[in-house]
Amino acid sequence: GESVGLHLPTLSVQEGDNSIINCAYSNSASDYFIWYKQESGKGPQFIIDIRSNMDKRQGQRVTVLLNKTVKHLSLQIAATQPGDSAVYFCADLMGGKLIFGQGTELSVKP
């Protein structure tokens, strides 16, 4: 069956360093991917998305990379800040439904 998974459930980084959060997906027909951020006590919030006809997309301090060959997605956060501490989910869109991965909890050490 279809699945979306993250490589590590937790990630700890030093403030100011770059963070890389990884995600693998199983459905080669997936054509749209989204990263969400969920802070404690809040619902998930959209960060950035990417379509399968792209391999890289940049936002403000965030970059998403898509490798369709190995069905791998990554979120890079530049100059990680304490406010980036949250759980990060990748999701792929198939048949009008978003399928979410399990999430990686990012902790930022001062």
Partner 1 sequence: ETGVTQTPRHLVMGMTNKKSLKCEQHLGHNAMYWYKQSAKKPLELMFVYNFKEQTENNSVPSRFSPECPNSSHLFLHLHTLQPEDSALYLCASSQETQGVTGELFFGEGSRLTVL
Which of positions 72-91 make contact with partner 1 (CB under 8 A)? 89
Range 54-67 burial, b when 16+ CB lie within 10 A, else e: eeeeeeeebbbbbe
Binding mask 31-70 for partner 1 (x = CB under 8 A): -x-x------xxxxxx--x---------------------
CA distance 75 to 12: 15
> Which of 96, 110 has the CB closer to partner 1?
96
Contact residues: partner 1, CB under 8 A? 4, 9, 32, 34, 41-46, 49, 89, 93, 96-103
